[in-house]
Amino acid sequence: MSIIEILSTEKYISGSEIGRFLGISRDAVHKRINRLRQIGYTIKSSSKGYIIVKKCELFNEYEIEANLKKPLNICKMIKYYKETASTQTAVKKLALKNFGEGVVVIAEKQTKGYGRIKRVWNSNAGGLWFSMLLKPVIRPDGSSILSLLFSIALSRILEKKYGISSEIKWPNDILICGKKVAGIIIEMSAEQDIINWVAAGIGVNINNSLPEDLKNISISIKEVLKREIDRTEFIVAFLTEFESLYFNFQSGGFKQFLEEYNSKVAYKDVLVTVDSACNDAITGKNFGIDESGRLIIETKNKIEKIISGTLRRAEN
């Protein structure tokens, strides 16, 4: 039970009762109450205790915790920042301090947000910018599959909760009407056969405004639905969806999700080009991915299976 849920009952509740529910001291309760007031909650206090009079409309960790219907192993701790350089940088610092799996770092705004190949990610207020600390029990060469799982989770939420059809552009982008609405980055620390930790960053254009130079290639959910979206509702749905995918993948592999992923693949059965930092660009027909997450491209001479790269439609 979160402090928001406790305070949202229709009666006053004492500091000692709150402390008993949360397993903390009265002094710690007082500090949390002050923190809630600082970020916009109206909390009335009297000799009887505390009660919330008005809920804050801001997006924050307390609302997320209160709306999670059950505890999640992938979300044991939430750290929220109004502004930070990058949630990826923040979560990697926590990983180096030996924090366990299940830390989620969220920012209202990022000043130095980045995606794959350190590309700048525009991260204005109103979007959903967060990173997760994971410690999957898989081989390091299987870490790229995590990006595919995140893609499936995002695609499911868009369709089930908002009725939006989307496509997955291998390996890490979600498209709506051919425009990018979300992106994923996976970074990790590993040894030969063991992953020490994974920092997974996700950015979703929800209610944020997009710069003019990105409007031809990017889109927000608000733009699609013509209304504001509750970001708390979105991230709670996403975390719940991903929790199931994540643990099913570790126990049963990716094959169980292969058909679903390939049904969502962007540029399927058309000519594409894959640019790679290591090899020459490869052009051929896109057949989706195999169960190892490799992109299957049929060139004029043979079938290529590509581990990493940047996918685009082939130029005519």
Q: What's the pLDDT at 99?
A: 97
What are the DSSP E strand ranges found in 30-136?
A: 42-46, 49-54, 77-81, 103-107, 128-134
Residue 236's alpha-carbon distances to 59, 60, 210, 232, 239, in angstroms, are 12, 12, 24, 6, 5
Amino acid sitting at position 231:
R
> Could you give the angle at the alpha carbon of 46 between the alpha carbons of 44 and 48, nearest 5°?
115
Q: What's the pLDDT at 221?
A: 98
Say yes or no: do domains 3-54 and 271-313 share a fold: no
Q: What CATH architecture is 3-54?
A: Orthogonal Bundle (1.10)
Q: What's the pLDDT at 287?
A: 97
Instruction: Give 241-254 as a DSSP string.
Output: HHHHHHHHHHHH-S
Give the Cα separation of 61 and 118 in Å (integer): 27
Q: Which two tokens stand for residue 64?
A: 């997320």
Which uninterrupted H or E stretch holds 181? strand 179-190
Q: What is the chain's pLDDT, residue by residue, as a tens digit (316 residues)? A: 688 888 887 789 999 999 999 999 999 999 999 988 887 788 999 999 999 886 666 788 888 988 898 889 999 999 999 899 999 999 999 999 999 999 999 999 999 888 766 677 678 889 999 999 999 999 999 999 999 999 999 999 999 999 999 999 999 999 999 999 999 999 999 998 999 999 999 999 999 999 898 899 999 999 999 999 999 999 999 999 999 999 999 999 999 999 999 999 999 999 999 997 677 899 999 999 999 999 999 999 899 999 989 999 997 6
Angle between helices 15-22 and 26-38 (to 10 degrees): 100
Residues with Cβ < 8 Å from 310, sequence gap 6 or more?
Answer: 116, 117, 274, 275, 276
Q: What's the pLDDT at 101?
A: 98
Q: What's the pLDDT at 191?
A: 92
Find tokens 């292969």 and name the residue.
258
Q: What's the pLDDT at 118?
A: 67
Find tokens 């299957």 and name the residue.
296
What is the 8-class DSSP label of residue 120?
B
Binding-site residue positions for biotin: 110, 180
Class in CATH terms, 61-263: alpha beta
Instruction: Map out the domains of the chain as residue ranges.
Output: 3-54, 61-263, 271-313
Please tell me the number of Cα atoms within 13 Å of 240 on its side-chain side: 16
Q: What's the pLDDT at 316?
A: 65
Instruction: Give 209-244 as a DSSP string.
Output: ---GGGTTTB--HHHHHTS---HHHHHHHHHHHHHH
Q: What CATH architecture is 271-313?
A: Roll (2.30)
Task: Point out which residues pair with 148 in neighbouring strands.
Answer: none
Binding-site residue positions: 110, 180
Q: Are 204 and 128 in contact (CB under 8 A)?
A: yes
